Amino acid sequence: MKEYDIIVIGAGGGTKLVTPPSQIGKKVAVFEKESPGGTCLNRGCIPSKMLIYPSEILRFPQESEKFPIRFPSLPEADFSTIVKRVSDTVDADSASIPVAYDKNPNIDYYPYFARFLSDKVIEANGETFTAKHIFITVGTRPLVPEIPGLKETPFWTSREALRPDSLPQSMIVLGAGFISLELGAAYAAYGCKVTGFARKDVMKDLDGEVKEELKSNLPFPIHTHSAIQNVTFDGKNFSVTAKDKEGNSFVTTAEKLLVATGIIPNTDDLGLENTKVKINEKGFIEVNDFLETSVSGVFAFGDVIGRHFFRHSANFEGEYLFQNLFLSETSSPIHYPPMPSAVFTHPQIASVGSTEEELIRKQIHYYKGVNRYSSSAMGMARMSTTGFVKVLIDKQKETILGAHIIGDEASNMIHHLVLGMNLNANLDQLLNMIYIHPALPEITRNALRKVKEERKKEKGF
């Protein structure tokens, strides 16, 4: 049996526990059954944004008529070349990871599937391994729903949709979460006729007002509250039979079918049944406030624990574990700062903190300020017809409870409010700074000013 200081299963977010510990003398073994870099690099965040950004450029001529600026003809994208550039870039980045590990004498990289034989013993490629600290960061994979006929068809998940041979003329998208909305919007911009289906509503966890704004401006139609009856494929096209909320059946046909209905943790083949590591009813690994599993010395983080499904949250957890286990003299539980999120659809969405619906449900008293993009100098310059900033402020402390932005550059705009939440800045402090004029953050300032007006009506100051 080979013995290490650290074993890491999963070279995605798990990389936070590979190189940093090796630099302080720890011997590390890292196992990865697929391409190094995990979902984010190979099948998620990075390739999707590389595919999405050019699609946003394609929208400029479509939206320029209002200025008015007219183009002699609509632009055409060399879709196959764009996809090749995306794939070549992420493949090269992924391939560079083992090369860097090979140069480090304290890291052994094993490109093999690994599973537990017992609490602290791992088997891979016919060998056994153990370590004082074991980190499970195996992530998740697309969930394939039990729909009659679906599994007998060559449907796509996000993995295939990010590496297609060519642009399909039409595509059906099952699901209405961030993956389906992002890829559906991108494909629609490239010229594919996209039709969506959602079992319930679009982005069910979004703030209600943001959701309604999104639904009014989506670049492709979505049949919400639809029950899929079956899926067939005739060798050329997919046919999806569904029932609407009134119970009426209808059939939609398209060249491709993208299934983006959720995720499932990669814990079913880890051999956890050979250990005392506990998982919940959905298969996610249970951890305590120190990210430790029910087995001492075995930790888990990232998507596989089911807390936050972002690479930035996995990075935060990995950095916490490195600091807490190997650098700090005393151990302390993890404390998550406000966790922001973004949806890179069209229009773009970003959020942090509570939604208004959550505050109402918890009976937390709040002020609300909403300001549309159009009610700002830069919004006037851009002739913005969609989008707003919404801030929710605690009535007692006057700190930020939640913030939600839909519109241009929302993922950049939100950071001002994330910082405010991190610093517990109050309303007056957020307004007592100079905002560049004219710039998009003035929309945030105006939303905060509306909160101040609301406070004045209630308190007189």
Q: pLDDT tens digits for 1-29?
A: 999 999 999 999 999 999 999 999 999 99
The pTM (predicted TM-score) of the whole model is 0.95
Q: Which of 51-65, 91-105, 306-320, 333-347 has the lowest mean pLDDT?
A: 51-65
Over residues 110-136, the mean pLDDT reads: 98
Q: Is residue 210 pLDDT above 90, yes or no? A: yes
Q: Is residue 389 pLDDT above 90, yes or no? A: yes
Over residues 419-436, the mean pLDDT reads: 97
Over residues 402-419, the mean pLDDT reads: 98
Mean pLDDT of the chain: 96
Domain ranges of the chain: 2-140+264-327, 150-261, 347-459
Can you give the pLDDT at residue 62? 83
- Residue 304 has phi, psi (to 5 degrees) of -70, -15
Over residues 147-166, the mean pLDDT reads: 97
Can you give the pLDDT at residue 460? 86
Cis ω for the linkage preceding 68 (within 30 of 0)? yes
- Asked, colleague to colleague, whether 2-140+264-327 and 150-261 share their fold, the answer is yes
The catalytic residue among 133, 312, 365, 437 is 437
Percentage, residues of the chain above pLDDT 70: 100
Q: Is residue 347 pLDDT above 90, yes or no? A: yes
Q: Is residue 350 pLDDT above 90, yes or no? A: yes
d(CA 383, CA 252): 36
User: Could you name the CATH architecture of 2-140+264-327?
Assistant: 3-Layer(bba) Sandwich (3.50)
Under CATH, domain 347-459 is a member of which superfamily? FAD/NAD-linked reductase, C-terminal dimerisation domain (3.30.390.30)
Can you give the pLDDT at residue 74? 81
Can you give the pLDDT at residue 216? 95
Summarize the annotated binding site for NAD(+) as residue ranges: 175-182, 262
Q: Is 404 a catalytic residue?
A: no
Can you give the pLDDT at residue 63? 86
Can you give the pLDDT at residue 43? 92
Summarize the annotated binding site for FAD as residue ranges: 49, 303
In this structure, the number of other CB atoms found within 10 A of the CB of residue 283 comes to 15
CATH of range 150-261; options 3.40.50.720, 3.40.1190.20, 3.40.630.30, 3.50.50.60: 3.50.50.60
Closest CA to 256 of 186, 164, 325: 164
Exposure string over 183-218, b if 16+ CB within 10 A, otherwise e: bbbbbbbbebebbbbbbeebbeebbebbbebbeeeb
Can you give the pLDDT at residue 146? 96
Q: Is residue 247 pLDDT above 90, yes or no? A: yes
Over residues 184-205, the mean pLDDT reads: 96
d(CA 449, CA 431): 7
First to last CA, the chain: 71
Question: pLDDT tens for residues 75-113?
Answer: 899 999 999 999 999 999 999 999 999 999 999 999 999
Over residues 230-240, the mean pLDDT reads: 98
Over residues 199-221, the mean pLDDT reads: 95
Summarize the annotated binding site as residue ranges: 49, 175-182, 262, 303
Q: Is residue 242 pLDDT above 90, yes or no? A: yes
Q: Is residue 461 pLDDT above 90, yes or no? A: no
Can you give the pLDDT at residue 100? 96
